[in-house]
Amino acid sequence: MKPGYLSEYFEGVAAKRLSAVEADETRSNQHEYHATKKVQAFLGSPEEKTRIPARFLYLTDDDPDPIVEDAFLTLYNCRKGKPRAPEYHLYFPTTTVSLNASEGDLLVIAKKRDGDLLVIIAENGSSIGRQIEWLFGFADLAHPGFSVKSELETEQDRIEFASRFILENIGIAVETSEDTYLDDMLRRFSGRFPSTREFSAYARSTLKDLSPLDQPDLVLMTWMEREEILFRTLERYLIADRLSLGFIDPSISLISPAGFLFHSDKTTNGIRKEVNGVDVDSFISFSLSVQNRRKSRVGLALENHLELLFAENGLRYTRTAVTENKAKPDFLFPGVTEYHNPAFDSLKLTMLGVKSTCKDRWRQVLAEADRIDDKHLLTLETAISTYQTDEMAAKRLQLVLPRSLHQTYTPAQQAWLMDVASFTELVRARQNA
């Protein structure tokens, strides 16, 4: 096991495309996958039927949250007692995940370090499916059987900014920290979360000798990576500190026959539940605040770093300018004054939408600046499906990504993608024309 690599979390991974009999219960009642010898290499070859706890996930681009169900896979020799070579199968029960599966969907079975399994089914042709393939290094799954990886410590398996977010989408919490800066952050920010703009500036201050002018792609990703690590370091400390205080409300007035504690409050039927002395509503509220902070912070941090990067490159811009129908593109070049001046050549205008992840939200950008026909969108999302990028191109939306993320896309997509350096050059050329 090597820290910082997929081997830190998984012992082995198998992937394939679901066949009709594996996905369609009207075609087969077997509910089984064929566990090849390579699959057995990390799952084992037990003499008796072995039930392995498994968490099932169904992923699609249409829903930001996966369908999740805990169940099991049963590994067994279907030829046990017969004078033939053993043949192992994996039986799976009916779950909400299996009921959503279709022929051609991606199936990934990963054995975690605790021995449990993670069974992922991703919709065929989806971006999240492509991201899972890239994460585990499966380039071609055209053949019918499983492709297997038990060596998860290659350079491809290193956990970096992009892979960390994919792992968290499938429920794997990646621990990252830079405790060297913890005391300084606690002192500087008085033991609280500062504003995103303030924290972005602090993250940049911890990095020296970076030139946004010479290497904008590298600098942007370095800033984002540093801020993410520092944020998780501070967040882990502050969450632990908050949890240590507990969520007990002093205004307890009732004890149920079952021993649960209650007190009256402005909730359903005038009763607010406390379980074993824990204020459930307060705990849920705190948990949601942590999740929402994580989601909103990344996008704002990306905009903050881009704002400085553009300024360092001598570009004129307006951030969140108001255009038609009160739309607010993230960046408008050279600015809102030029945009609203009918005499200003529209071919010299550039707009950039910024979304740390796209999903289907990229279409929002299309309506944010009517005077600009060819729009740009910068994202950190890896391996967006060809269906999505083909539609973007057809809608005259150019995708911009830091250069290091281009390799997560297909060769044909990479030829179309724009990097940050090319985008800044385009804006500079229009500005100086």
- Residue pair 393/415 in contact (Cβ under 8 Å)? The answer is no
The H-or-E segment that residue 273 falls in is strand 271-275
Can you tell me which residue has the tokens 């042709």?
125
Integer Cα distance of 353 and 332 in angstroms:
9
Catalytic annotation present for 88: no
Can you tell me which residue has the tokens 């970076």?
210
Contacts of 307 (CB under 8 A, 6+ apart): 317, 319, 331
**What tokens appear for 13 in the block?**
């991974």
Judged by DSSP in three states, 122 sits in: strand
Angle at 216 between CA 215 and CA 218, to 5 degrees: 70
Angle at 61 between CA 55 and CA 65, to 5 degrees: 45
Judged by DSSP in three states, 226 sits in: helix
- Residue pair 321/344 in contact (Cβ under 8 Å)? The answer is no
Residue 192, sorted as left (phi over 0), alpha (psi -120 to 50) or beta, turns out to be beta
Long-range pairs, 270-276, Cβ under 8 A, ≥24: 274/248, 274/249
Q: Which amino acid is at 180?
A: T
Contacts of 390 (CB under 8 A, 6+ apart): none
DSSP character at residue 18: P
**What tokens appear for 196 in the block?**
């995103």
CA–chain centroid gap for 291, Å, is 13
- Residue pair 14/146 in contact (Cβ under 8 Å)? The answer is yes
Which of 58, 181, 339, 409 is labelled catalytic?
A: 339
Pairing outcome for strands 254-255 and 261-264: antiparallel
**What tokens appear for 413 in the block?**
């997509």
Integer Cα distance of 173 and 297 in angstroms:
18
Integer Cα distance of 298 and 130 in angstroms:
22
Integer Cα distance of 403 and 382 in angstroms:
11
The residues annotated as belonging to the active site are: 339
